[in-house]
Each structure stands twice: as C-alpha cells, then as structure tokens.
C-alpha cells in the first residue's frame, strides 16, 4: 500500500507564535478558539504570517452494497442523480462553494452508474459500488489500495494548483452505515450509540439498521486490524477520502473535516497515521446522533453546531470564514508595541 511521510509540525516556532498572538491588541485569550486556530495554522505552515490559498472542496461519490438490506430510506439512484445535480450547480455544496469562493472537485470513486464525465466529474471509479458486507468484504485489498492512491492523487493535483487548505465531502447513499461500524470498531462505543437516522429513518428503521449492522459484525471473520476493518466495511468514497487526507497531511495542508462520515474517515486515517490529526480542523457537530459522541471520543472541538447533516462537505465550507478570521487576526491586528497601547488583561 502507498506509504505517507506524515510528521508532527515542528514546535520550534511555538513560543514565538504564542507570543505574537498574546501581544495583539486585545486581552490575552479574549478571541478564544480563534487564537487556538491561529496557533495551529501557524504551526502547520511554520510561519508567523499564515495564509489560506485557493480553498477547494473535494467531493467523493460511491454506492454501497449494504443498501440492499434496507438500511436507508433513499434508493441508491440518488447518488448518481445528485452527482449530475452538482454538475449543474443545484446542490447544497454548490451554493456554499459559490458563497465562500471554493473550487468544487467532483470525484467518482465508485458510483454504480455511468456519469457524464465530460461535465467535469473526475473519473476515479474503482468499481460500481461496494459488495454487501453483510455477507462478504466490501472491497478487496487491491481495491482499497486503489482508493487510497487515487484519493492521494486528487490532493496532489489540488496542491499543484496552489491550494493549502482543503475540505472533503461525500455522496453515497448508505454511507452512515459504514461510518457507524467504523466508529464502533475504532472507539469501542457501543454500536447502538453509533447508529442513527441517516437520511431520515424512524425508530423502527433505526432498529432494523442496527440489527443489520450487528449481524454484519457478527459475520465478520477478519483479523480486526485497522486496514482490514477499513477494507471490509468501508465505502469506496470514504477510503478515497482517507488517502486524500493522508496526502494532505504529508503536504502540510489544512484539512477541514466535515460531518459524521468525514469525521469517521479521518478517525480511520488516524489509525494508520496518528499525526494526520495535527492538520485537521473539525468544522461542525452534525445532527447524526453518533457524531457528538465521536467528536468527544476524539477530543475534537468543532467550530459550529447548526444541526447540519447534509454531508457533501457543506459544514466544512460553512465553517471556513471562522478559519479565515483566525488567520486575519494574527496577520491584521497590531501588537501593543506597534500601536503604542499599554498592554492590558
């Protein structure tokens, strides 16, 4: 499998960054989490004057074999229909990208449909949807490795285009099921606490979903290693996101983490390379029931809590102005000394 060279940001600049932030014309700590963000971004970029360049949202799409078991209200055809809608500018992710000047990259990781690639969708299809993991592994080792390599390739393209901050989104009917299993396996939180309504299941539907996922875990005969769990229960779009996140961390890019599915993807990525989390900013706490518990288990502090559960990267893009404010704070505020103001607390 592709190897990544991911390391913690060098902390030699840490004290100097803290000193600059503490000596801006404000009481120490008065801009709260913005100060923590500025410190994190300064460490990632190894500079006292960080910048945000060419933000892009990479949306990976794929279908899931587990949908055959009735774990979602939505038919799998919605995946390809929404991808076409995105090419026409009519999705939630589209207006957020327009509002915040993000470039949108649409990537077919494994949609069970022939998409109109001439309309701008990037064809990275590994297979037409995963297998049904109630009975067998979702993908082979080779397919998993292809997902990781192709996700990384997309990020290298973004980097070459001048980006230093990326958000990742997903489109894949049934992917909250895969995410719930990853969450359970990687955090040991009881499965029933990890399973939620997804696209709108009622209590009866949630219970059916739970029973199918519980049976899938009972049928699992793998070795329990992170890579095997990723391969056996993952979605093609989720595994491609793992490769993308790991490549972004290697290139020392800022990763804006979206909702339940993408939080599980970076959780899975961290089981392979723990230092990937140093590059992650958690954008929001979504409405999917397990997301809050997952963020707490990861000691992650989300920027927003707006009840969002759309996916697509929408929550991450929505949170971008807060990240921008942190960068503007450290770059545009004067220090007490330069402004000739007595330092106050």
Q: What is the rounded CA–CA span in Å between residue 124 and residue 312?
A: 17
In angstroms, rounded to a whole number, what is the distance separating the alpha carbons of residues 337 and 198?
53
Q: Cα separation of 101 and 19, whole Å?
A: 32
173: number of CA atoms within 13 Å, CB side?
22
Per DSSP, which regions of the chain are E strands? 56-62, 103-110, 122-123, 165-171, 254-257, 280-282
Q: Which entry of 250, 296, 312, 334 is annotated as an active-site residue?
A: 312
Q: How many residues does the chain have?
A: 345
Encoding tokens for residue 275? 């230092």
**Inter-residue contact 146 to 126 (CB < 8 Å):** yes
DSSP string, 273-294: -GGGGGGEEE-B--SSHHHHHH
Q: Would residue 312 show up in a list of annotated catalytic residues for this protein?
A: yes
Q: Where are the alpha helices (DSSP H) in 128-259?
A: 141-160, 175-187, 191-194, 203-219, 226-233, 236-250
Residues labelled as active-site residues: 312
């Amino acid at each position: 499998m592709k190897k990544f060279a991911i390391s913690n940001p060098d902390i030699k600049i840490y004290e100097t960054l803290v000193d600059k932030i503490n000596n801006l014309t404000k009481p120490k700590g008065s801009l709260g989490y913005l100060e923590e963000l500025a410190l994190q971004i300064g460490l990632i970029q190894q500079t006292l004057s960080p910048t945000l360049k060419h933000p892009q949202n990479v949306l990976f799409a794929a279908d899931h074999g587990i949908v055959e078991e009735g774990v979602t209200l939505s038919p799998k055809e919605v995946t390809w229909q929404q991808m076409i809608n995105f090419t026409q500018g009519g999705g939630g992710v589209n207006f957020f990208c327009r509002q915040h000047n993000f470039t949108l990259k649409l990537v077919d990781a494994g949609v069970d449909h022939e998409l109109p690639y001439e309309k701008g969708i990037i064809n990275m299809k590994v297979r037409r949807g995963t297998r049904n993991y109630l009975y067998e592994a979702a993908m082979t080792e080779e397919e998993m490795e292809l997902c990781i390599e192709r996700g990384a390739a997309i990020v290298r393209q973004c980097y070459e285009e001048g980006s230093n901050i990326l958000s990742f989104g997903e489109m894949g009917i049934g992917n909250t099921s895969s995410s719930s299993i990853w969450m359970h396996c990687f955090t040991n939180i009881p499965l029933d606490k990890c399973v939620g309504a997804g696209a709108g299941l009622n209590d009866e539907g949630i219970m059916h979903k739970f029973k199918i996922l519980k049976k899938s875990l009972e049928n699992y005969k793998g070795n329990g290693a992170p890579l095997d769990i990723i391969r056996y229960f993952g979605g093609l779009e989720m595994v491609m996101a793992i490769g993308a996140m790991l490549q972004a961390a290697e290139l020392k890019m800022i990763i804006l983490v979206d909702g339940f599915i993408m939080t599980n993807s970076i959780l899975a990525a961290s089981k392979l390379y723990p230092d990937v989390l140093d590059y992650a900013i958690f954008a929001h706490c979504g409405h999917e029931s397990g997301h809050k518990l997952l963020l707490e288990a990861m000691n992650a502090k989300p920027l927003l809590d707006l009840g969002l559960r759309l996916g697509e990267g929408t929550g991450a893009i929505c949170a971008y102005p807060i990240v921008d404010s942190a960068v503007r704070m450290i770059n545009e505020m004067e220090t007490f000394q330069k402004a000739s103001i007595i330092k106050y607390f």
